[in-house]
Structure 1
Amino acid sequence: MPSVQGMTTTHAEAAAAPAHRGGFLRQLGIDTQYVLLGFPLGIIAIVLSMTLFWLGVGTMIIWIGLPILFGTMYVARGLATVERARLGPVFGRQFPHPYYKSKPGAGPIARLFTPLTDGQSWFDLLHAMFRFIPSTISFALVVAWWSGALGGLSWGLWGWSLPNGPDDQDLPELLGFDGGYGTKVSLYLAAGVFFLGTLYWVVRGAALLEAYFAKGLLCGIHDLRRQVAAANEAREVAQQQKAAAVSAEATALRKLERDIHDGPQQRLVRLAMDLGRAEQQFATDPDAARATVAEALSQTRETLDELRALSRGIAPPILVDRGLQAALTALAGRCTIPVDLDAPRFERLDPAVESTAYFVVAESLTNVAKHSHASEVQVSVQRAAGGLLVEVSDDGVGGASLAKGHGLAGLDDRVRAAGGVLHVESPVGGGTRLTAALPLQGT
């Protein structure tokens, strides 16, 4: 008795097979009608385009040729529109309407001349003039293969009604057969099987021959323009990221310089003064000297703490060693406002992404502690399909902004430098929600 799994697999394969065959038959029908219809369309296109074009060229000397040429361009454009619609089923996707040059604000004469200066219009005309060549080749192949398949398989039903000429008797004998009617049926049946077995690929190749010729002339410029636009957009994004990285680095260096100047540097200056005073007091007042040294030791510890805090701002060791989840946990524990942290553990990410996410949370918590007057903060870091989503929200007074001159401007530069997007919702009196979307490498 077959297993349930084996029965399920067999039924699935049986259900998939007709769908697969149906796809072949559907594509075969699409390609066949595309080629068969393309042949008469090619005749119409070459007659109209050639006649109108050369008539226009021949009568340009008396100016009547110009309107005829304009009309030829628009006729070719109409035929091209029809062909683009026919290309969709062959390739399994729709082709957008290309860009045609236009001058809306120009006068009537200038608008008449516009098609003559448009590259796509000339490609449409070339397709109308020369599409008959691939159409004829494709039409001959498709008709020959369909005729061979249908005629060979059905010859036994109607072949007896045809008169037998000398060639009909000689061919089986040349092949080593007796030349009887049954032998002829077998030969034609074998030929029909051959044509039927290769019918799909021959028809598909013939349709693609005609379709690629049309696609190259009717959609090539549009595809090229789209690729150029995509390249320009990518270049602009790269330039914006570069500028944001430079700005973020400059902001971080200025902040670091200010923090060092306002913190450890001032403490070191005071430490040097205290040690100098203690040196003088040792000879006259040892007790006061010891008190001064003790105070200097306290200043030293505070200075070390500030330097450690600054080093965490540059490259937190816990982030490098243990990952983003551990670093955010430590960051939440140091915040003066209660933090509800939702940061599940996942695999290590790109160091730049982890660093950016850490600084988004760190800078946000710093701003909340300094300016928001909030009672609670929610921090969420989630791995999504398109990247890493970082969200920090509080119930404070709101009013935060990404505009230049505000505290979050540097954070926005840092996020954009990583290829991400930073969004802030902070209505006055309604709290603040900061969301950063960071792309991951390979997504």
Structure 2
Amino acid sequence: MPSVDDMSAATLSTVPVADPAAPRSIVRQLGVDSGYVLLGFPLALASFIVLIAGLAVGTALAVTVIGLPILAGVLYAARGFADIERLRLPPVLHQPRIRPHYRAPDPGASAWRRIFVPIADAQSWLDLAHGCLKVVVSLIAFVTTVVWWAGAIAGSLYWAYDWLLPRTPADGSLNELLGLGGSGLARIGLNTAIGVFFLVTLPIVVRGCALLQASFGRALLTGVAEMRNRITVLEEQKRAAVSAEATALRRLERDIHDGPQQRLVRLAMDLGRAQQQLGSDPEAARRTLDEALVQTRETLHELRALSRGIAPPILIDRGLPSALAALASRGVIPIELTVDSELGTPAGRLDPAVESTAYFVVAEALANVAKHSGASDCWLTVSRVDHNLRIEVLDDGVGGAHVSKGHGLAGIADRLRANGGMLSVLSPPGGPTEIRAELPC
């Protein structure tokens, strides 16, 4: 673990923001797209033959008992071809692999119920439609890719084999038809220029063919799954937001009731007692007013502390690094803070909602460290990684922290989930404890 200066409560250091991942090279992407298209046609042809033949036999025999198992087998075969295609999509679309949730038979289901499961599953029929129709799209992409590769190779290297081609005086050439003359230099120059055109446009054309084929596969094989996953994520975020706001309101209500409200009640009583004492005992009234003044100051101090927990002015005025530095400086144990310097610049500042959520996460995490960890040192790192804001809180305490145990971690998880983020906690018994939060920014 890094050393901490015992003489300071918090140390602020800055690190440069990591550069985003470099884009994939044109040559590498051309190889990926070409392999995807060229291999896609044989696979499409095989799936077309297998699925069309099986579908024809299963449909013809559907009136009998034999046709249903054949039809179910065809749908399972379509699922297999679809899974192969899903494995091939991520390198082309630059997206993670998504596999839809297929309907599964109930435990202990009979054989006939198991046969009807794929027949009643909508995604299985989408897989079948993809396996039967993909051959058309694949044929167009395959022919175009082969033609462009052939034109690029044959044209750009024409100068190397022109002398090997047999010719007769009666043969007409393209350069003569275009009025460029019949010399060898004109012939080589024209064919080489055509080859250079094919070579220059090759990455664009092959990329377009790959995206055409991949987009067709994505629409049928993962489109419904993506929509369902998105709906599920939005529902979870909505529930998490409601839970987080309800928890925050209950905590705020409790803090106000236990703190400023009780002090204001006592302040009102002190003022009433002082009013009664003014005529009979002015000295006692003065002492009572002094106590009321102390109560007023303490109430204002508690209200300021509550407001800092909601939206500290320094966060709005100076940004997340300064707000976190101020928060760490008030820690009861030494806290070493490392934060990206660009997060505090006007160009690098995050969305106000992201900054507020990040501040809440850090404040709650540090509060848990102070109350429950028994730690003597704490390390806080805030960085931007791949369009995400990463927050890491590490302490040398006794460990044993878990989201289900409460201590504010459940509230952190809900707040992050409501904003599309996630929380991970690694806290073995005996420590150390590492809390990592990822927040899209």
Same fold (TM over 0.5): yes
Q: Does 1:305 align with 2:309?
A: no
Q: Which runs of 5+ in 1 are unaligned?
A: 1-18, 279-291, 333-338, 396-400
- Once residues 395 and 90 of structure 2 are traced to their aligned partners in structure 1, the CA distance between those partners, rounded to angstroms, is 47
Which digits, 9 at most, give the CA deviation of each residue in 1:258-279, with x for residues without a partner?
Answer: 5136632332333233224x1x
Write the distance in 2 (CA, Å) between the matches of 1:227 and 1:393: 38
3-state DSSP class of the match of 1:61?
coil
Whole-angstrom CA distance in 2 between matches of 1:363 and 1:160: 82
**Mapped partners of 2:26, 2:229: distance in 1:** 32
Letter in 2 for 1:47: I
Tell me which of 382, 385, 388 is aligned to 1:384: 382
Change (3 A) 1:243 1:57: same
Q: CA deviation at 1:29?
A: 2.4
**For residues 354 and 272 of structure 1, do their structure 2 counterparts lie closer, same or farther at Cα, with a shift above 3 Å needed?**
farther
Distance 1:27 1:161 in 2: 34
Q: Which amino acid aligns with 1:193?
A: V
The question of whether the paired residues in 1 share the 8 Å contact of 2:48 and 2:135 is answered with yes
The amino acid across from 1:301 in the alignment is D
Note the alpha carbon deviations across 1:131-158, whole angstroms, 9 max, x for none.
0111111111111112212222344415
Q: Percent identity?
A: 28
Partner of 1:240: 243
Q: Deviations over 1:249-302 (max 9, x none)?
A: 3323422475136632332333233224x1xxxxxxxxxxxxx21121011011
Say which is worse superposed, 256-265 or 69-78, in terms of deviation. 256-265
Question: What is residue 33 of structure 2 aligned with on the other side?
Answer: 31
- What SS is found at the alignment partner of 1:176? coil
Q: What is the correspondence of 1:297-376 to structure 2 with a 5 Å cutoff? A: 297-315=286-304
Distance in 1 between the 2:99 and 2:365 partners? Answer: 46
Distance 1:270 1:358 in 2: 44
Q: Distance in 1 between matches of 2:180 and 2:227?
A: 59
**Residue 71 (str. 1) matches residue 73 (str. 2):** yes
Moved more, 345-354 or 202-211: 345-354
Identify the range of structure 1 (312-321 vs 29-38) with the bigger mean alpha-carbon deviation: 312-321
CA distance in 2, matches of 1:23, 1:250: 56
Q: Which has the higher helix share?
A: 1
Q: Which secondary structure does the structure 2 equivalent of 1:98 belong to?
A: coil
Equivalent residue, structure 2, for 1:85: 87
Task: Give, in whole Å, the separation in 1 of the partners of 2:302 and 2:67.
Answer: 76
> Which of 54, 57, 76 is the aligned partner of 1:55?
57
**RMSD (Å) for aligned C-alpha atoms:** 4.8
The number of equivalent residue pairs is 381
User: Shift of the alpha carbon at 1:180?
Assistant: 3.3
TM-score (norm 1): 0.68
> Match of 1:274?
277
Equivalent AA in structure 1 for residue 237 of structure 2: A
Q: Per the alignment, in what secondary structure is the counterpart of residue 125 of structure 1? A: helix
Quote the Cα distance in structure 2 between the aligned partners of 1:330 and 1:31: 53
Cα distance between partner residues in 1 of 2:173 and 2:248? 85
Q: Which amino acid aligns with 2:57?
A: L
Deviations, residues 76-99 of structure 1 (Å, cap 9, x unaligned):
111111112222333345514331
Q: Which structure's relative contact order is higher, taking Cα pairs within 8 Å and 6+ residues apart? A: 2
Write out aligned runs for 1:141-180 (5 A).
141-156=144-159, 157=161, 160-164=164-168, 166=170, 168-169=171-172, 171-180=174-183
Tell me, yes or no, if the aligned pair for 1:245 and 1:417 is still in contact at 8 Å: no
Q: Distance in 2 between matches of 1:394 and 1:263?
A: 39
Q: Secondary structure at the match of 1:263?
A: helix
Work out the CA distance in 2 between the residues paired with 1:246 and 1:313.
17
Structure 1 residue 39, shift from structure 2 partner: 1.5
Q: CA deviation at 1:107?
A: 2.2
Distance 2:254 2:241 in 1: 20
Q: For residues 1-53 of structure 1, what are the alpha-carbon distances to aligned partners after superposition, in whole Å with 9 as ceiling and x for unaligned?
A: xxxxxxxxxxxxxxxxxx99x93333322222222222122211111111211
Which residue of 278, 284, 294 maps to 2:283?
A: 294
- Deviation string 1:352-394 (CA, Å, 9 cap, x unpaired) is 6799699979999xx98xxx9xxx9979795633578899999
**1:224 lines up with 2:227 in the alignment:** yes
Counterpart-to-counterpart distance in 1, 2:40 and 2:106: 34
Contact persistence 1:418–1:438 (CA under 8 A): no
Letter in 1 for 2:278: L
1:131 is aligned to: 134
Alignment match, 1:95: 97
Deviation at 1:59, TM superposition (A): 1.6
Offset at residue 313 of structure 1 (A): 1.2
Structure having the higher Rg: 1
1:404-419 aligned at under 5 Å gives the runs none
Between 1:28-37 and 1:251-260, the stretch displaced more is 251-260
Q: Which amino acid aligns with 1:68?
A: I
Query: How far apart are the structure 2 equivalents of 1:190 and 1:87?
Result: 34
Q: CA deviation at 1:231?
A: 0.8
The answer for the alignment partner of 1:281 in structure 2 is: none
Q: Deviations over 1:208-256 (max 9, x none)?
A: 2111111221121222222112111211111112211331233234224
Assess, with a 3 A threshold, how the Cα gap between structure 1 residues 59 and 363 changes in structure 2: closer, same or farther.
Answer: closer
- Judged with a 3 Å threshold, the aligned counterparts in structure 2 of structure 1 residues 267 and 50 are, in CA distance, closer, same or farther, namely same
Aligned equivalents of 1:402, 1:190: Cα separation in 2: 66
Question: SS where residue 384 of structure 1 aligns?
Answer: strand
Kept after mapping to 2: 8 A contact 1:352/1:418: no
Contact 1:53 1:72 in 2 (8 A): yes
Unaligned runs of 5+ in 2: 1-21, 315-321, 384-388, 418-422
